[in-house]
Amino acid sequence: MTILLQVNGVDHALEIADENMPLLWVVRDILNLKGTKFGCGKAACGACTLHVDGEAVRSCSYAVKFAMNKKITTIEGLGNEQNPHPVQKAWVEHVVPQCGYCQPGFMMATAALLSKNPNPSDEEIDKNIINVCRCATYYRMRKAIHRAGELTRENLTNETTSS
């Protein structure tokens, strides 16, 4: 069947043999966007997190048919060197990654959280950011999430004062 998707702002019409194929395989193997990672394949670790219409989704367990006509954002579309997302800036400031494998998923989960709540408490972070990092970067990650929230709030203030 033909699946229509918008991925990182680009429209795609993809011929997919099985509409139940996980979105992760479409992103990685068909669109060749390798930033979204495979970890557990069971919606347990969060390595495969991306956004579907702004919501954090574990794409290893999300059939591509559910993404039909929706906007997908992967880590490659979160920001860029010229215009990094606050999460990316904060991650660099706090030198969060160790091996790096889990980090795109954490960053996408954090970006989705901050889009709804730019000032999360530690409890809200614990409740919402439930990905797994085998290198145990959680301590730096928490600091970076708070910093990303600060940067997000600054951006929101700047947008309000300039409009």
Cβ contact 2:69 at 8 Å:
no
Task: Give the CA-trace dihedral at 74, 124, 101, 140, to 10 degrees.
Answer: 130
Please report whether residue 25 would count as binding ligand FES according to CB under 6 A.
Answer: no
Residue of the chain from 44, 63, 93, 118 that contacts ligand FES (CB under 6 A): 44
Helix (H, G, I), strand (E, B) or coil at 56: strand
Residue of the chain from 18, 126, 134, 139 that contacts ligand FES (CB under 6 A): 134
Residue of the chain from 1, 80, 100, 122 that contacts ligand FES (CB under 6 A): 100
CA 43 to chain centre: 14
Minimum distance between the CB of residue 24 and ligand FES, rounded to whole angstroms? Answer: 7
Please report whether residue 92 would count as binding ligand FES according to CB under 6 A.
Answer: no
Longest Cα pair distance anywhere in the chain, in angstroms?
50
Which residues have CB under 8 Å from 52's CB, separation 6+? 23, 62, 66, 67, 70, 71, 72
Minimum distance between the CB of residue 141 and ligand FES, rounded to whole angstroms? Answer: 9
Nearest 5°: phi and psi at 23?
Answer: -55, -30
Minimum distance between the CB of residue 78 and ligand FES, rounded to whole angstroms? Answer: 17
Residue of the chain from 48, 125, 144, 145 that contacts ligand FES (CB under 6 A): 48
CB neighbours of residue 146 within 10 Å: 16
**Nearer of residues 139 and 156 to ligand FES, judged by Cβ:** 139
Please report whether residue 99 would count as binding ligand FES according to CB under 6 A.
Answer: yes
| Site residues for ligand FES per CB under 6 A | 38-41, 43-48, 58, 60, 97-103, 133-135, 137
